[in-house]
Amino acid sequence: MSNSALSSRNFLIYLAGSAVSMHGLWIYRVALGWFAWELSGSEFWVGIVAFTQFAPAVVFGPIFGVLADRFDRLRASIIINIGSATNMVCLGLLALLGQVDIYVLVALSLVQGALDGAHTPVRMTLLPNIVRKNQLQNAIALTSISFNVSRFVGPAIAGLIIVTFGVNAAFFINGISYFAYIIALFMIELRPSVARADIPSNVWQEMLEGIRYVVAHRTIRSLLVVVAVASVFGRGALEMMPAFADKVFASGSSGLAILTASIGVGAVSTGLVLMRSTAWLNSRVVQISVATVGLLVVAFGSIDSLWLAVPIVVALGVILSLCGVGSQILIQTLVEDEVRGRVSSFWGMIAFGGTALGSLVVGTAAAAFGLQQTVIVSGLLCAAVALMAPVSDIKK
């Protein structure tokens, strides 16, 4: 049987719906960051808005992971995406009517962050039920390529939409894009999950069971540690790109779209490599990639030219994708199906929650000590802590 996930009808339908939705997501993220800067002109509020996108994954992520292991993942995904579409239409309408200030934006961003946090473990656990086990690594790489293609196409579309029609149109388009994903979910059939021998009645007991599993599994534990370093000190600093685009590079929303798209260009390259082979991939490769991210963040914070920043950001896209997608491939290959939802939620909690924490700290420090200086320090910390982090490639 073919190892290519493209031979699966269900996966092709899922990939098509997901691709449309991912374009909407990146249109939304660029519009949200720019709108926060436009409303406030403050690095602090840009950091707060970035924090609200990812913080719910920290607070509620483990609970969402327990639910992903308990309930119908397909139905849960449909319900969550309907909620996301509704929230985006509300934000678009309020922006169109001029009823959004920075506080309203924070509130609705927090709602969307909660919905995204709930969907992360569900989405990550769907894929092993769509394709066969021998197709899983290929499927993860292909979805990464799709995600990162949208990462550079979406921002380019977002820049055009914002300039031509305003941010409200970007929010409406994201809301509509969720329905492509919802339709795809109605059209696919999932492979059965491994039945659990017993399901504890206590949610907290299940959560602790998942934590014990991660702590006991040396490779998964070490991967989560280095992902945390990359998220807090690397991705957190890059959430300041709206401020960099306007304050440092003087290029406005079009400059932000270029920078965001550049990350996507680099990340697609990594996805193509991972799609061909992952035999060389291990925890130490991920660790070195995180240390490299730190050095590139230092370089990004040290310059004041948009066009000098672009190649650095492309390189960041390559290395950040290696860390993010590479860690997902390794974890999803190693984890047992009965705890997959909980372990996936821990990855989401660390990856997105670390970004939320990092963006909040960097935004606050940048407002007090200066944007570029703060980003440089964050990059240095990323490289140093990554190199000191313990890693293991023992497969248990």
> pLDDT digits over 253-308, tens only?
788 878 877 887 888 888 788 877 777 888 899 999 999 999 999 999 999 889 89
Which residue's entry shows tokens 């639910």? 67
| Whether residue 89 has pLDDT greater than 50 | yes
Phi and psi of 202, rounded to 5°?
Answer: -95, 120
The residue assigned the tokens 């200066």 is 370
Which residues, in sequence order, are CB contacts of 319 under 8 Å at separation 6+? 266, 270, 289, 292, 293, 296
How long, in residues, is the chain? 396
Q: Does domain 5-190+204-388 have CATH number 1.10.1670.40?
A: no
> Against a cut of 0.75, is the pTM above it?
no
pLDDT tens, position by position, 49-65: 878 887 776 777 677 77
Cα first-last separation, the chain:
28
Q: Domains of the chain: which residue ranges?
A: 5-190+204-388
Q: Rg of the Cα trace of the chain?
A: 20
pLDDT tens readout for residues 296-319 = 999 999 998 898 999 999 999 899
CA dihedral 106, 108, 112, 117 (to 10 degrees): 50
Summarize pLDDT for 363-381 with one digit per residue, the tens.
889 888 888 999 999 999 9
The answer to whether the beta carbons of residues 152 and 260 sit under 8 Å apart is yes
**Cα(104)–Cα(111) distance, rounded to whole angstroms?**
11
**Distance separating alpha carbons of residues 105 and 123, to the nearest angstrom:** 26
Taking residue 75's Cβ as centre, other Cβ atoms within 10 Å add up to 11
Which DSSP symbol is given to 239? T
CA-CA distance, 372 to 43, in Å (whole number)?
A: 11
Q: Count of CB atoms within 10 A of residue 163's CB?
A: 12
**Which of these, 46, 116, 59, 41, lies nearest to 84 by C-alpha position?**
116
